[in-house]
Chains A and B, each alone.
Chain A
Amino acid sequence: MTKDFAVPPVVFPSGGSSAGANVQQRRFPAAPFQPPRPSTSAIPFMSFDIGSAAASSATPAGPFGGTMSSSSSFGGGSASFEDEEPLLDELGIHPDQIWKKTRSILNPFRINQSVHKDSDLSGPIFLYLALCLFQLLAGKIQFGVILGWIVVSSIFLYAVFNMLAGRNGNLNLHTCTSLVGYCLLPVVVLSAVSLFVPQGAGPVRFVLAAVFVLWSTRACSTLVVSLADGGEEHRGLISYACFLIYTLFSLLVIF
C-alpha cells in the first residue's frame, strides 16, 4: 500500500517531455525534500490537540512557580521552539526574586520579611554553591558535608519550631529549608572574608565568626517567627536553635 506524499514539482531546464527522462530525473530531485511544516502545531500521529496539551503541561509547571505560559512545546515538537517557556522559568529559577531576597538579608538591621513569603530552593542552592566554592578556595572540599548539614539542620529547626509552637505551628519544611538556606548568606560572606585572615590569628577569626553568626541568627529567627504562626512567645528559644545551626556552619569555616 503506497503512501503518497507531496513531491515538489521538478522543473527541468530543458522542459523535455519524454517520460523516461522525467522518471529518471524525478529520482534525484534538484530541490531538497521538505516535510510539510504544520502551521497549526498538530502533528498527525499525535492524538491529542493543543488545548489539552496546554492544560496538561500547565499543571506540572505550576508547582515550580513558573510563569503560566501555555507551552506548546508538548504538542508542537520541534516546530514551535519560539513558543517554549524560557529555560529559567521552566526550572523555576527567578533571578530577580533571588536577588531581592538576598538583598533583604544583606542589611543586618532591618529585614524585609514580605519578599520571603513564597519560598524557593534555588536561592539556597546558589548560596550553598558559593559557600562550597569559598571553602574550596581555602583548600577544603566539603560539598557533601555542607549539603548534609543544611538538610539536617533544616529538619531540626522544623521539628523544634513546630513542637514549640504547638497547635498553631504551621511552618512547613520547604519554607524552613528556604529560610535556613537564605540566612546562610552571612556565613558565605564570612568564608570569603576569612580567606584573607591568616589561620594563625585565632581570636580575630573567632570574633569575626561571632559577628557573622549573630547576624545570621538574627536574620533567621526574625524571618521564621514572622513567616509562620505561633512562634512569637518562643522567640528566644527558637533563636537559640538557629544560633546552634549557624555556629555549626561557622566551625567549618573557622577551622
Chain B
Amino acid sequence: MYNNMGPQQGMPRPPGNPEPGPFGNPFTGAGSGFIRGGLGAYGERILGSSSEYVQSNITRYFSDPQYYFQVNDQYVRNKLKVVLFPFLHRGHWTRISEPVGGRLSYKPPIYDINAPDLYIPFMAFGTYVVLAGFSLGLNGKFTPEALNWLFVKGLVGWFLQVMLLKVTLLSLGSGEAPLLDIVAYGGYAFAGLCLAGFAKIMWGYSYYALMPWTCLCTGIFLVKTMKRVLFAEVRSYDSSKHHYLLLFLALVQFPLLIWLGNISVNWLL
C-alpha cells in the first residue's frame, strides 16, 4: 500500500543533465553515497549505470522521494500551522488515500494537509543550523568549526528522533511505514526548534517559556500522527500498549529537544 508512486509513474526523467561537465561526472566521487541516499529513485540515472539491481534495491528502501516534494506555498503555510499549533487543527488527522492503478496510495502533499513532506524538515534543519550559528555569534563564540559541529548535532538529533519513531513502530509489531515518511515526521521537530531559537535571539528569557511549549506541541503532533500511522499499519490493536508507547514518545521529546536547543560550543552538551 505504501509503494505508491514508484512503479505507476515509471522512471521519472532525471532531474539533472546526465552529460558530464568539464570536470567529469561530479557524482562518481565521494558524493555518490549521499546522492544515492538522498535522491533515491534518481540514483541509478545520475550515476550513469542503468542496472535494474541498483534501481530495485533503492526503491526497496526508499519510496519515491519526489512524492515528498510536491508542495506549494499554501501547503507549507498550513502545515507549519499544524506542526506549531497542533491543537488548533480542526479537521481529522488521517491521510487521504486514493486508488492508483489498483493499489491504494496516499494523495501527495499538495492535496492533503496530513501527508508528510520533506521540504519543511530540510528547510527547518537548515534554519536551525543558521539560527544556531547566529546565537553562537551573539555570544561571541562563533567559529566555522563550531557551526560544523552544530550541523552534526542536528543530524544526530534527527537520527535519534527517527530511531525513536521506528522503534515505536517495530515494537508494536509492524515496521512497514516507508522510511522517508518516518524521516519526515522526525524532521518536523526542527520547525518548533527554530521558533524557540528565534525567540531566544530576540529576547533571552522567552526561550524558557517557548521551549516547553515547543516540546509539548511536537509531542502532540507526533502522537496524533503516529496514532493514525499505527492504526493504519498495525494489525492487532492492543490499546494499553499503544497508549503507553505514544505517551513515552511525547515525553521523550522534552529531553531530546532541550538537548538540541541548547546551543553552545561543546556540541555534545
Contact = CB atoms under 8 A, between A and B. Distances in A.
Interface in B1-19: 12-13, 15-17
Given A166-B69, A233-B72, A251-B134, A174 B119 contact: no
A172 B21 contact: yes
Contact of B144 (A145, A160, A164, A171): A145
A117 interface: no
Contact of B137 (A159, A163, A254): A254
Interface stretch (B48-56, B87-95, B121-129, B166-174): B121-129
Contacts of B33: none
B223 interface: no
Interface of A (DSSP majority class)? helix
Nearest to A62: B22
Contacts of B66: 163, 166
Interface string A229-249: 000011011001100100110
- Chain A contact-residue range equals 35 or more
B142 A251 contact: yes
A244 B69 contact: no
B116 to A, nearest CB: 14
B165 interface: no
Contacts of A63: 21-22
B16 A162 contact: yes
B125 to A, nearest CB: 10
A160 B122 contact: yes
Contacts of B130: 244, 247-248, 251
A145 B148 CA distance: 10
Given A158-B16, A159-B39, A173 B133 contact: no
B7 to A, nearest CB: 16
Sort A-B residue pairs by CB-CB distance and give the 4 closest, nearest first: A162-B15, A255-B137, A172-B17, A255-B142
Interface of B: 12-13, 15-17, 21-22, 26, 31, 38-39, 65-66, 69-73, 76, 118-119, 122-123, 126-127, 129-130, 133-134, 136-137, 142, 144, 147
Given A170-B16, A173-B21, 7 more contacts: A121-B22, A163-B66, A167-B12, A171-B15, A237-B71, A248-B133, A255-B133
